[in-house]
């Protein structure tokens, strides 16, 4: 699967789960795994850090 921003190859670990964030190694864009069924993975743009994020 390739990055929608820069087309670099995204390395998605086999044990990655829905909701996890994948970062593009080239441009740094963050994607969230929105669906994962076997090797079929769907990504969406991750939310940016919010003012209320944290503990």
Partner 1 sequence: MSKICIVFDRLRSEEKLLQKEAAGLGHDTSMLDAKITSINTDSKKTDFDFGDVVLERCISYFRGLHFTSCLEFLDVPVINEFDVANNCGNKMFMSLLLKKHNIPTPKTYFSFSKDGATENINKVGFPLVIKPVIGSWGRGVMPIKDKDTLDAMIEIRELTDGPYDRIYYLQELINRPPRDIRIISVDGKAIAAMYRKSDGGFKTNIALGAEPELCEITNEMEDLVANTSKAMGGGILGVDLMEDEKRGLLVHEVNNTVEFKGLVKVAKNNIPKEMVEFAINSVRK
User: Which residues here bind partner 1, judged by CB under 8 A?
Assistant: 17-21, 32, 46-47, 50-55
**CB 33, min distance to partner 1, A:** 8
Tell me the chain's radius of gyration from C-alpha atoms: 12
Residue bearing tokens 């190694």: 25
Q: 7 or 34, CB closer to partner 1?
A: 34
CB of 2 to partner 1, least distance (A): 22
**Least separation in angstroms between CB 35 and partner 1:** 11
Cα angle: 55, vertex 53, 33; to 5 degrees: 105
Cβ 33 vs Cβ 43: under 8 Å: yes
């Amino acid at each position: 699967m390739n990055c929608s921003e820069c087309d670099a190859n995204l390395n998605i670990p086999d044990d990655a789960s829905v909701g996890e964030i994948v970062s593009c190694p080239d441009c740094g864009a963050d994607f969230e795994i929105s669906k994962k069924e076997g090797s079929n993975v769907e990504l969406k743009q991750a939310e940016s850090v919010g003012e209320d994020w944290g503990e």
